[in-house]
Amino acid sequence: MRFKRFLAIALAVFILMAFSGLSFAQDADPAMSMDSEVQADNISGAFDLERSVKRALEINPSMTSIRAQLQGSKFGTQSSLGSFGPSFGGTYGYTYSNRVSTSSGRHDDWLGSLNVNQPVFQGFNLLATWQKAELTEESTQASLTNVELSLIESVQANFLSLLKARMDVKSADDSVARLESQLKVISAFYEVGLKPKAEVLDAEVDLATAKQDLLTAQNEVSTQQAQLNTLLNIPLESEVDYVGELSHVPFELTLKQCLTRAYDGRPDLVIGQKSVEIAQKNSTIAASSFYPSVDGDWNYYNRGTGAGLNGGGSYSTRAQEYWTVGVTASMTMFEWGADYYDYKQYEETVKQVEAELEDTRLNAGFEVKTALLNINEAADRITVAKKSVEAAEEAYRMAVARYQAQVGTNTDVLNAQARLTTSEAQLSQALADYGTAISTLYVAMGEKNLGLTKAE
C-alpha cells in the first residue's frame, strides 16, 4: 500500500515537473520550406544567375551543415534555460543487515525517497550560461549568413566564368571561320600562281592554332558547367540550361555608402561582436566561484521492511514516512588562487577578442575599398575594350580588302585577325571581371544580391 503511495507521489511530481518545463521548451523540429528531394530533381527549365544562386542556397550540402549547426545551438539555448527550473530525482533500495534491528526485529530494510532541487542562486553562473548560449545561437545565425554569402560568391563567380567561356568559344569560333576564309583566298591565289606556298602554310598554321584555342574554350565551358552542377547539387551528367550574358550595369554607390552598409551588415562583424560578449559571459561564469551557491530542496522518504515499503514489525508511522524541506548555502573559501587566475585569464581573453574584432573591421573596410577599385578598373577596361574591338574589326576588314586587291600582304591579314581575337578576349575578360568585382563587393558589404541587379 505504501509502495503504491510512493509511486503515486513520484508520478505526481514527475507530471508537475513536465508541465512546468513546458515554458523552457520549444518546437525542436522546424518546418523546412521545401523538400530537398523534390528540389534535387527540379532541374527543368532555364537557370539564370538568380535561380542558380537560389537553388544552391536551398540544397547545397554546406547549407545543410550550417543549418544543422544552428539548430544544435538552439537546443543548447533551451538546455541552458532549463537549468533555471527544478530537478527531480529519486532512489529505491534494499539493505540487509546481519544484525537484527531493535526497532523492527528484522534484517531487511527497504527505503524509497524523492528529491526536488531548485537552484536559487549560483553566483550568476546560470544566468551567464543562458546568455552565453543565446549569444552562441545568434553567432551561429550570423555564421549561416556568412556561409550563404560565401556560397553566393562561389556560384556567381562560376556562373560569370561560364558566360565568359561561352564568349571565348564564340570568339574562337569566329576566329576559325575568318582563318578558314582567308585560307581559301590564299589557296586560290596560290593555285593561279599569284601567291607563294609559304603564305598558304602560314595560314594553315594560324588556323590550326585557332582550332586548338577553340577546343580549349569548349573544354572550359564544360568545366564551368560541371562546377556549377556541383555547387547546385545537380548530377554531373545532367544537362542544365544555364542562360545569361555578360553585361555592364553601372554601379553608382560611393565608397562611404559601401562602408556604411558593410559596417552595419557584415556577418563576420556580428560574429566578432558576439565573440566579445561571449568572452564577457565566460568571465562572469569564472567569477561565479567568488559567490555562494544557494539551493532549495524538498525530500520525501518512505521506509519499510518489505519491497512494498510496508511498515511491518515495530516501525512507527512517523518513522516509516516523512518529508523535509530546506535551503542550503555553500561556498569555497580558498583555492590557492585557482579561481582568481582563471577569472583573470578570461578577462584577458575579452581584450583579445576585442582586438580581433577591430582587426576584422579594418579588413572589412579594405575589402570594400579593393572591390570598389576593381569595379572602377573593370568598367574603364570595358570602355577601352569595346573601342578596341570596333577598331580591330575595321582593321581586319581593311586588311582583307587590301589583300584581295593585291595591295596588302597575308601577314597584314593574319596580324589583324590576331588583334581582333585578342581584343574580343580582353572585352570578355573585362566584362567577367566587372561582374565578379560587383559580386565581391556585395559579399564584402554583407548583402545578398542574388542576380547582381543594379544597386539601390
Q: What domains does the chain contain, in order, with CATH numbers?
A: 1-21+87-121+296-330 (no CATH), 45-84+122-292+338-444 (1.20.1600.10)
Name the β-bridge partners of 114: 90, 300
Cell of 155: 556560384
Query: In the structure grid, which three cell numbers stand for residue 131, read together?
Result: 546568455
From first CA to last CA, the distance across the chain in angstroms is: 77
C-alpha 94/C-alpha 112 separation (Å) is 9
**Predicted confidence pLDDT, tens digits, the chain (456 residues):** 555 555 555 555 555 554 444 343 344 444 344 444 444 457 788 999 999 999 999 988 888 888 888 889 888 888 888 888 888 999 999 888 777 665 556 677 888 999 999 988 887 888 888 888 888 888 888 889 999 999 999 999 999 999 999 999 999 999 999 999 989 999 998 888 888 899 899 889 999 999 999 999 999 999 999 999 999 999 998 889 999 999 988 898 999 999 999 999 899 999 999 999 999 999 988 888 888 888 999 999 888 777 777 654 444 444 578 889 999 888 888 888 888 898 899 999 999 999 999 999 999 999 999 999 999 999 999 999 999 999 999 999 999 999 988 888 989 999 999 999 999 999 999 999 999 999 999 999 999 999 988 765
CA 183/CA 75 separation, integer angstroms: 72
Could you identify the residue written with the cell 551543415? 65
Q: Quick check: helix, strand or coil at residue 115?
A: strand
The grid coordinates listed for 431 are 566584362
Cα dist from 26 to 68, 71, 79, 87, whole Å: 16, 12, 11, 19
Residue 118: phi and psi, rounded to 5, are: -120, 115
The whole-model pTM stands at: 0.77
